[in-house]
Amino acid sequence: MSRLSAALPLLGCRIPESGCGRAGDCRGAWGGGGRASRKGRGAPQTPAGRREPTKNLGTARSSTLPAMWGLLLAVTAFAPSVGLGLGAPSASVPGLAPGSTLAPHSSVAQPSTKANETSERHVRLRVIKKKKIVVKKRKKLRQPGPLGTARPLVTTHSAKTLTLPEKQEPGCPPLGLESLRVSDSQLEASSSQSFGLGAHRGRLNIQSGLEDGDLYDGAWCAEQQDTEPWLQVDAKNPVRFAGIVTQGRNSVWRYDWVTSFKVQFSNDSQTWWKSRNSTGMDMVFPANSDAETPVLNLLPEPQVARFIRLLPQTWFQGGAPCLRAEILACPVSDPNDLFPEAHTLGSSDSLDFRHHNYKAMRKLMKQVNEQCPNITRIYSIGKSHQGLKLYVMEMSDHPGEHELGEPEVRYVAGMHGNEALGRELLLLLMQFLCHEFLRGDPRVTRLLTETRIHLLPSMNPDGYETAYHRGSELVGWAEGRWTHQGIDLNHNFADLNTQLWYAEDDGLVPHTVPNHHLPLPTYYTLPNATVAPETWAVIKWMKRIPFVLSANLHGGELVVSYPFDMTRTPWAARELTPTPDDAVFRWLSTVYAGTNRAMQDTDRRPCHSQDFSLHGNVINGADWHTVPGSMNDFSYLHTNCFEVTVELSCDKFPHEKELPQEWENNKDALLTYLEQVRMGITGVVRDKDTELGIADAVIAVEGINHDVTTAWGGDYWRLLTPGDYVVTASAEGYHTVRQHCQVTFEEGPVPCNFLLTKTPKERLRELLATRGKLPPDLRRKLERLRGQK
């Protein structure tokens, strides 16, 4: 096992057979907003962006002195039991190989041995025994558990420095720069080129705006004349720093990234100590070779401190010292309560909070099915390009059958494989519904008895496996997004918008060209058409089941977007393009955003370059950015189903430790959104003579240029906001029937049934086809018609 492979488990990174980091255990973030930083000073800069060794790095803000004097007095009083040792490095911590680095594409990059002298080849444990240090070799490193976040006790030895007990669980999670758990006020820098390049922008995977130089740029960048640049993170409490993940600057126009850096630590932001290698020299960590690939560096010896500084040493020639970062750190106990207790992420629900690869996902779904066999059914809608099945969990009181009058709803996640939160939320949702149904929870019981729910947790399993094996902190912004064929599934559905809008411009809608259930274009069905097997599987699924409501779960932002996703003006990058059902879509989007905890957090900063909270965290998809061939638009124009896109989190692939909080953020929103399927009108269109349901009857609402159709049993659901409507039911061979239907604010759909009478021509056609005897009234009508001739 390499030194990197030996060290990764101790950070909570599971190691797959390929040797690269496991998804869900080591990854990062982005954001905007912030505070001004001050300029730094130091040694002169040498050519090619290389700096002289740092001389005076013990600078600090004078504003912290009064508070720190009180802290020093408290520490002095409790030194025998706490031993904070301000200004001193912590003692060694067992289980981490020095100098381990994960470079792009799972290759191992390490500092040069000449500069750092990190030559140990074994993981070693340092055990403190009465001032005597005993070194023992660990024979075998064990894989960490699913949520192995260590909280080691803080002890002291005679040198009054922080030490850790011998036995501790591995698995240091990210501090939270990417997920925004670290606030802007916790980030400082020696200098910054502009507000948009301030310290608050130095978050892993943060994305810039369309133009450089605005308030939302893609990294922290120090001023060019800053000879000793640094980025500082305040953890608020002492933590055990274990590693750093870095990226360069996200920009269309610039190439800026740091190629090496040093690290410093402090307990008071005044006295600093450096990370050193085994020979006592300053550790110089190799950083990035491009702007986007995350690079992990493990500390040669984890350090317990409150503050950490990253000091760029060299950077890309011609560029600037710019970086985005995530810090890996484990909490430490505070037995004397000297520091305010940090907010803990958790949930009261007893669920499986971890990331699941394909095999683990299948196992979990099977366990839910076995636990609740009467309300669950697992089925597959097709296979990915690599042959992985697209599994769906159906949940209803009568699984496997469509009940007359019971609406069908679906959640789809994992369209982009690296956006992993939606996948885990659906796996958590199926567990939760099963548990609560067995407990007799009235809300869940009603939901499952009145609705048929379909959960597709992984539409792009090939892409997810790629992201999973890279790891939550190392997958970056785009790796795993596409299918194995390199197809973005959210641009792969047929563009039905264009043909509808052309027909509308020619005045052909709805009399010649329907405003619903538009057929697939000929080009889309050709053998050489670039349509992913995953896309075809979902299209066939849509046609097979009469879905009414859906949500497509994504990640990377905190907003709900609704159709249309494609701009009506050709080549427009963004443009408000509402559907005829704009009121319904805005309501559905507002319901999810209004019940999502993170979206309703007024203290939350924007994720990247847009503040969606100004508009209630909802936006028309085309007014955000145009997406031709989206699943939302296709679902609306090809089927009866109304679908929105939910961007669940700033962090596309949050660490497992953050899953309980993400579940709490979204649990009520997921349930409330499903309940909106009862909004509007519902009924059955029947034949007046036979009282049998009429399939494919058209339900039109006056004033809304979009119709829906009945299912094979004649039942239908039409989502509408409260109001008075004139509704028309029509079917081929039947007289059209019109009636008034009033939708109120009361819970539950308003019944609006129809009885249609066959036209004489249709009745005659049926009788002639069966060679039946004509009824007297029809025979008299036929004779009158003949007499008129």
What are the residue numbers of the active site? 647
Structure tokens at 252: 């269309």
**Contacts within 8 Å (CB) and 24+ apart, 131-136:** 131/157, 131/158
**Would you give the end-to-end CA distance of the chain in angstroms?**
96
Q: 537 by DSSP, 3-state: which?
A: helix
* CB-based contact 418:478 (threshold 8 Å): yes
Structure tokens at 505: 């411009």
Q: Which residues, 6+ apart, have CB-to-CB distance to 438 below 8 Å?
A: 371, 372
* CB-based contact 672:696 (threshold 8 Å): no
Structure tokens at 334: 């505070």
Rounded CA-CA distance 537/523 in Å is: 18
The Cα diameter of the chain in Å comes to: 120
* DSSP secondary structure letter of residue 477: T
Kindly give the residue spans of alpha helices, DSSP state H, lying in 549-700: 582-595, 621-624, 631-638, 659-675
Burial of 194 (0-12, 13-18, 19+ CB in 10 A): middle
Q: If you write DSSP's letter for every residue of 517-530 in order, what string do you get? A: SPPPPGGGGSTT--
Walk across the sheet containing 698-701 and list its strands. 708-709, 698-701, 723-730, 737-743
Query: What 3 state SS string does 457-473 have?
Result: CCCCHHHHHHHHHHCCE
| CA 705 distance to own-chain centroid | 34
Residue 205 φ/ψ, nearest 5 degrees: 70, 10
In this structure, is the dihedral angle defined by the CA atoms of residues 32, 34, 36 and 38, taken in order, positive or negative?
A: negative
* CB-based contact 227:42 (threshold 8 Å): yes
Rounded CA-CA distance 461/537 in Å is: 13
Query: What 3 state SS string does 717-732 have?
Result: EECCCCEEEEEEEECC
Work out the angle at residue 427's Cα, subtended by the Cα atoms of residues 477 and 30, and round it to the nearest 5 degrees.
Answer: 25
* CB-based contact 499:634 (threshold 8 Å): no
* CB-based contact 31:14 (threshold 8 Å): no
In this structure, is the dihedral angle defined by the CA atoms of residues 341, 347, 348 and 351, taken in order, positive or negative?
A: negative
Rounded CA-CA distance 556/645 in Å is: 12
Rounded CA-CA distance 661/511 in Å is: 51
Q: 551 by DSSP, 3-state: which?
A: strand
Rounded CA-CA distance 240/308 in Å is: 11
Rounded CA-CA distance 697/518 in Å is: 15
SS3 content of the chain, % helix, strand, coil (to 5): 25, 25, 50
Question: CB neighbours (10 Å) of residue 661?
Answer: 21
Work out the angle at residue 475's Cα, subtended by the Cα atoms of residues 473 and 478, and round it to the nearest 5 degrees.
Answer: 130
- Beta 681-687 vs 750-751: how paired, if at all? parallel
* CB-based contact 21:15 (threshold 8 Å): yes
